[in-house]
């Protein structure tokens, strides 16, 4: 294939040629996908229907759950369809859409985690001004900014990736992942996306430094709280966010700070599945386990659903 215009579809990596294993992979992905969908929908429902959770922190958490749903829905259904139908094909336009949606949602995740760190900083370090600073209008504007920035981030990467001609259409990954797509580009034609990656790395590093500095200030302030109960309450509101942020950073770093291999490997696929599945699956678990208000809201929600069904 000489250039991009001659490529109408890509061939994704198939885990196995054995039909039984393909069905097994389909069932595995289906179980994981349903677990992610269920967990995040429970968080969204709990925040939506419990007026006690209509606060900035839970408003941000609800948006995080929506973004997690979007990121997995951008890639997992197509993979399951391929497993079930014993095919590897994805059209050029579907690949473009997959890259744009996935990067937009993942980028929004990171930007939202940055905003959530600021929310915790104001709540703990400046509690008397919290309601004034984190009012409804400010929170709405922050979330709108997160979504718009995520969409711009996705468009920037998608444009940089697909602006280059491709010399092959065989993607050594089970979805259209940017590093593997860049491996298909013709000589030196990927420099545009490399420049975009450098800009993105600078932005991400800035957000990372901001979150780290914010938590240093938060923990410094928490340690000054005289009562043990007060310190525990402050830590309980920060730890879920910090754990989610750590999982996000480590999984993305493992996935993108390594050079993509020319041939698919078990390690490459395992790392990709970890950063694709683990954060969206763990986020609801971490917040529901570490937060009493979420537990209470989920209990009320499940009780209401049970009584309605009966």
Task: Give domain limits for the chain.
Answer: 4-309
**Residue percentage of the chain with pLDDT more than 90:** 29
pLDDT at residue 114 greater than cutoff 70: yes
pLDDT of 63 reads: 94
pLDDT above 50 (res 293): yes
Per-residue pLDDT at 34: 94
pLDDT of 5 above 50 = no
The pLDDT value recorded for residue 19 is 83
How far apart, in Å, are the Cα atoms of 304 and each of 45, 297, 309?
12, 11, 9
What is the per-residue pLDDT for 255? 63
Q: Is the pLDDT of residue 264 over 80?
A: no
Mean per-residue pLDDT, 94-105: 94
> Averaged over 240-267, what is the pLDDT?
69
Q: How confident is the model at residue 3 (pLDDT cuts 50, 70, 90)?
A: very low
Three-state SS string across 223-258, please?
CCCCCHHHHHHHHHHHHHHHHHHHHHHHHHHHHHCC
pLDDT of residue 101: 95
- Provide the whole-model pTM: 0.87
Residue 34 burial by Cβ neighbours in a 10 Å radius (0-12, 13-18, 19+): exposed
Mean pLDDT of the chain: 83
pLDDT of residue 277: 85
| Residue 2: band (very low, low, confident or very high) from pLDDT cuts 50, 70, 90 | very low
Q: What is the pLDDT of residues 31-87, one digit of tens each?
A: 999 999 998 998 898 888 888 888 898 899 999 999 999 999 999 999 999 888 888
Over its C-alpha atoms, the chain yields an Rg (Å, rounded) of: 21
Q: What is the model's pLDDT at position 4? A: 44
**How confident is the model over 119-138, as pLDDT tens digits?**
989 988 888 899 899 999 99
How confident is the model at residue 285, as a pLDDT? Answer: 80
**Topology of the domain covering 4-309:** Rhopdopsin 7-helix transmembrane proteins (1.20.1070)
Q: For 8-17, what is the mean pLDDT?
A: 82
For residue 220, give every residue at least 6 positions away whose Cβ sits within 8 Å of its Cβ, in sequence order, or none.
none
For 143-202, write each residue's pLDDT tens digit.
Answer: 999 999 999 999 988 988 888 788 888 888 889 988 888 888 776 655 666 677 777 778
Res. 29: pLDDT tops 50: yes
Per DSSP, helices labelled H in 163-190 are 178-182
Q: How many angstroms from the chain centroid is the CA of residue 265?
A: 23
CB 56 within 8 A of CB 308: no
């Amino acid at each position: 294939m000489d250039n991009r215009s001659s490529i109408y579809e890509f061939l994704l990596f198939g885990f196995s040629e054995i039909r039984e294993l393909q069905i097994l992979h389909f069932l595995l992905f289906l179980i994981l996908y349903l677990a992610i969908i269920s967990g995040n929908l429970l968080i969204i429902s709990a925040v939506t229907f419990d007026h006690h959770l209509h606060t900035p922190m839970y408003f941000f958490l609800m948006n995080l759950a929506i973004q997690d749903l979007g990121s997995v829905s951008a890639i997992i259904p197509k993979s399951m369809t391929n497993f079930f139908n014993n095919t590897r094909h994805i059209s050029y336009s579907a690949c473009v859409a997959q890259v744009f949606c996935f990067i937009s949602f993942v980028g929004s995740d990171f930007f939202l985690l940055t905003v959530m760190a600021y929310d915790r900083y104001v709540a703990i370090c400046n509690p008397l001004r919290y309601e004034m600073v984190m009012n409804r209008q400010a929170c709405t504007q922050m979330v709108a900014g997160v979504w718009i920035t995520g969409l711009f981030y996705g468009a920037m990467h998608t444009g940089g990736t697909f602006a280059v001609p491709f010399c092959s259409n065989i993607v050594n990954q089970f979805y259209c992942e940017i590093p593997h797509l860049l491996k298909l580009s013709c000589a030196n034609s990927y420099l545009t996306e490399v420049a975009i990656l450098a800009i993105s790395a600078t932005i991400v590093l800035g957000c990372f430094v901001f979150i780290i500095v914010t938590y240093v200030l938060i923990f410094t302030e928490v340690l000054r709280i005289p009562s043990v109960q007060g310190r525990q309450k402050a830590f309980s509101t920060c730890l879920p966010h910090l754990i989610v942020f750590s999982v996000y950073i480590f999984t993305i770093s493992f996935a993108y700070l390594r050079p993509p291999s020319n041939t698919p490997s078990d390690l490459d696929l395992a790392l990709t599945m970890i950063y694709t599945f683990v954060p969206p699956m763990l986020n609801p678990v971490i917040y529901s386990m570490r937060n009493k208000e979420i537990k209470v809201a989920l209990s009320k929600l499940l009780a209401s659903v049970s009584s309605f069904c009966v």
